[in-house]
Structure 1
């Protein structure tokens, strides 16, 4: 019973860590693709876990059939290997099966490390694709401090900040307007062709 609880808690911890890392990777790829330094962005923890979980579900659904085939094949090999070892090595089967169990644990660790790396890289690519294909939502932010307004593409919005990207003579700039520094955001009207 104790080992079952420890395995469950260990699995929950690993899944949580993997979801967090995958979510951070997605947002890092997204923000870098739109020329925003990810370290400047404060993301809510629920956003990170949600996006990480969504990326993991996407990976699992893309590779569902190969994963089931691999799991089924490994279970069959392990079942038949266990029966074969018990029949051939009657006196030492416990020792041999113990060593096999440790080797299987080592393979699981290697697989988890590989999968974590794969999920991280897939999430970065997914974030970069979303950022590269992100259409510009033209907005105008009216500032309370200087009573001025700034127009540009809405990059990111949270409950606390609005991120605006615009072009100047020096290149592309990104401004962050805190919640208490603007009083209105106007979305540009779309014109029909």
Structure 2
């Protein structure tokens, strides 16, 4: 009887693990398929990861958020906590989305039809005292992996003409990179699965 219980427990554990991984993959695919599309301008950093190959490290127009955009900093608060940050984006005339406001925790109202919210994370210790200071939230979109041998060429091209990333944003502001853009041309698109 103990052998049967052990086999049943192992099968149940395996089913739970497969179910959990499927849930993660399906959630990412749902965001890529149904999320609101946002285009951000990017700038080059370093294109190589020894374990995963070529990538472009993405610095973009929401990588640094001026403290003056954060609407809910409590009086007398001098530095950030380890917390989430919601950044409200609005589409610019050039097609790229720009930050217009930010809040620690939650936005006070949903984004309008021509706006989008992206959720990031701010590490502890960023200076909040001066409106001229910027903080650097992480959104989980800081790297885009490319086929081997493509990273350096794209990195060099990024220095001479504008590139962007097309994001898909879920309803709660979680971002997934949907495509790497060279102007209006799609260079690489993320597969759903």
TM over 0.5: no
> Which structure features the higher share of helix residues?
1
> Which structure features the higher share of strand residues?
2
Q: TM-score, normalised by structure 1?
A: 0.27
Over alpha carbons, which structure has the higher Rg?
1
